[in-house]
């Protein structure tokens, strides 16, 4: 009779320890204290007309007739990402994915893409998605996962529009904060 009781109390004790550690993980997740943080610049160099020499992104659909803010226009990109504002500086990563415009009453986009790192500094990927409310000064998108050096990453990517040149180019400052690092 004694052995099963002991086993039961050990099991309860284990459950207690597990729940304690889960609680302590939640407590340490402070928005002001990411475990990894870096600032990168995303350069969207759009194909305008037929000059394909520098472009790294292109509209893949034509806008619908809903509203005046290119609702339904989808852009696919393989854009350079650098550590500073100069698009010609050596890329830190590639941003591959898409965005589309999805509001009738203002310019508003929705992004889903992968940052691909393949340098001596970092190897791996970070996956980012969410709404880009372009009229706000800063917008928070979700870091939903990662691989390699960013195994199982989760966090927030804060966007800020850094430059806009008509339909040909825009630059976003991405402040990437990870809250789960392994």
10 Å CB burial of residue 49 (0-12, 13-18, 19+) is exposed
Q: Give yes or no for a contact between 115 and 82, defined as CB atoms under 8 angstroms apart.
A: no
Closest distance of CB 54 from ligand NAG, Å? 4
Interface pick for ligand NAG out of 51, 105, 120, 182 (rule CB under 6 A): 51
Q: Write the binding mask 60 to 99 for ligand NAG: x where contact by CB under 6 A, - elsewhere.
A: ----------------------------x-----------
How many residues sit in the footprint of ligand NAG (CB under 6 A)?
A: 9
Please list every residue from 158 through 177 that binds ligand NAG, using CB under 6 A: 166-168
Cβ neighbors of 155 (< 8 A, separation 6 or more) are: 34, 36, 142, 143, 176, 177, 178, 179, 180
Interface pick for ligand NAG out of 48, 147, 158, 161 (rule CB under 6 A): 48
Please list every residue from 22 through 41 that binds ligand NAG, using CB under 6 A: none
Please list every residue from 96 through 155 that binds ligand NAG, using CB under 6 A: 118
| Nearest to ligand NAG of 36, 168 (CB atom) | 168
Q: Under the criterion CB under 6 A, does residue 54 sit at the interface with ligand NAG?
A: yes
Residues of this chain that bind ligand NAG (CB under 6 A):
48, 51, 53-54, 88, 118, 166-168
């Amino acid at each position: 009779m004694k052995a099963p009781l002991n086993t039961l109390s050990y099991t309860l004790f284990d459950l207690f320890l597990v729940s304690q550690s889960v609680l302590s993980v939640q407590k340490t997740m402070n928005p002001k204290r990411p475990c990894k943080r870096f600032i990168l610049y995303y350069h969207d160099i759009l194909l305008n007309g037929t000059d394909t020499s520098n472009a790294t992104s292109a509209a893949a659909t034509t806008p619908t007739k809903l509203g005046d803010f290119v609702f339904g226009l989808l852009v696919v990109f393989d854009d350079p990402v650098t550590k500073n504002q100069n698009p010609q500086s050596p890329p830190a990563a590639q941003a591959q994915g898409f965005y589309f415009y999805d509001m009738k009453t203002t310019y508003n986009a929705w992004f889903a893409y992968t940052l691909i790192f393949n340098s001596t500094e970092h190897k791996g990927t970070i996956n980012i998605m969410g709404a880009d409310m372009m009229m706000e000064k800063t917008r928070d998108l979700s870091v939903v996962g990662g691989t390699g050096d960013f195994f199982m990453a989760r966090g927030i990517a804060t966007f800020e529009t850094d430059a806009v040149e008509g339909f040909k180019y825009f630059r976003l400052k991405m402040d990437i904060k990870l809250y789960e690092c392994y």
